[in-house]
């Protein structure tokens, strides 16, 4: 009587019997690959959802430059208009579905636009803190003026010196035992320093944009 053939399959020319240790090992590997793929897909879906939500709050000057296509652009505009919670949720699902069809370079341009929008407030806050630091340093220390002039030569130095001198007089003029008086000159030192820091930052951004443009053309 002939033996009943074992059930199984071939992998790279090797027969793998169903239920064997090798069969179980291969199935564990396959399951792990599937789970990893599901995790990757979920992560990608979550990121696209966040990008879609970001598009709703993107300012017009950045949104209008994105190559999203008419269908997706209209879907985002419609999502902004909807106030009903369930209606907006469904519309955002539709936005996410459309975004899954975007080319990688378009998705990258969306990320860049959102980064640009979020970067501006952070840079403005940093500039304010830096201006406060320089204002206090210039008023407190004579040697600070040289460092400021070296890094910001476009400053009207005569005006800055005059404001610093007046700010120092205002601080000393206050009654003894009370907090130092911060008069008009004190505020104007801050405004002048802040303007120079902002102009310097704008110049750096323009240079960076020019460098990127040259790299793209090369």
Domains and CATH numbers, the chain: 38-102 (1.10.60.30), 122-204 (1.10.60.30)
Tens digit of pLDDT at every position of the chain (218 positions): 445 556 666 666 666 777 777 777 777 666 655 554 566 667 777 788 888 889 998 888 889 999 999 999 999 999 999 888 899 989 998 998 888 888 889 889 998 888 888 877 777 888 889 999 999 999 999 999 999 999 899 999 999 999 999 999 888 876 665 556 678 899 999 999 999 988 877 665 655 555 554 555 55
- Report residue 202 as tokens: 């704008």
- Report how far residue 16's alpha carbon sits from residue 23's, in angstroms, rounded to the nearest whole number: 6
- Report residue 37 as tokens: 């793929």
What length is written for the chain? 218
- Report residue 21 as tokens: 């240790």
Pairing of strands 14-17, 8-11: antiparallel
Cut 0.75: pTM above it: no
């Amino acid at each position: 009587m002939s033996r009943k053939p074992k059930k199984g399959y071939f992998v790279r020319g090797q027969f793998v019997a169903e239920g064997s240790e090798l069969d179980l090992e291969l199935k564990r590997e396959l399951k792990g690959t599937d789970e990893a793929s599901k995790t990757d897909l979920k992560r990608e879906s979550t990121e696209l959802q966040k990008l879609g939500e970001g598009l709703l709050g993107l300012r017009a000057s950045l949104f209008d430059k994105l190559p999203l296509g008419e269908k997706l652009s209209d879907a985002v505009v419609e999502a902004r208009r909807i106030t009903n919670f369930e209606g907006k949720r469904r519309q955002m699902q539709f936005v996410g579905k459309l975004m899954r069809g975007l080319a990688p370079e378009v998705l990258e341009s969306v990320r860049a636009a959102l980064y640009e929008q979020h970067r501006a407030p952070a840079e403005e806050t940093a500039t304010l803190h830096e201006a406060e630091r320089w204002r206090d340093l210039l008023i407190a220390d004579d040697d600070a003026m040289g460092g400021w002039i070296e890094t910001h030569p476009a400053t009207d130095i005569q005006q800055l010196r005059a404001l610093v001198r007046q700010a120092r007089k205002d601080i000393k003029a206050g009654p003894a035992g009370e907090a130092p008086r911060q008069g008009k000159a004190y505020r104007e030192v801050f405004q002048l320093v802040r303007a120079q820091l902002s102009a310097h930052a704008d110049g750096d951004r323009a240079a960076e944009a020019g460098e990127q443009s040259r790299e793209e053309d090369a």
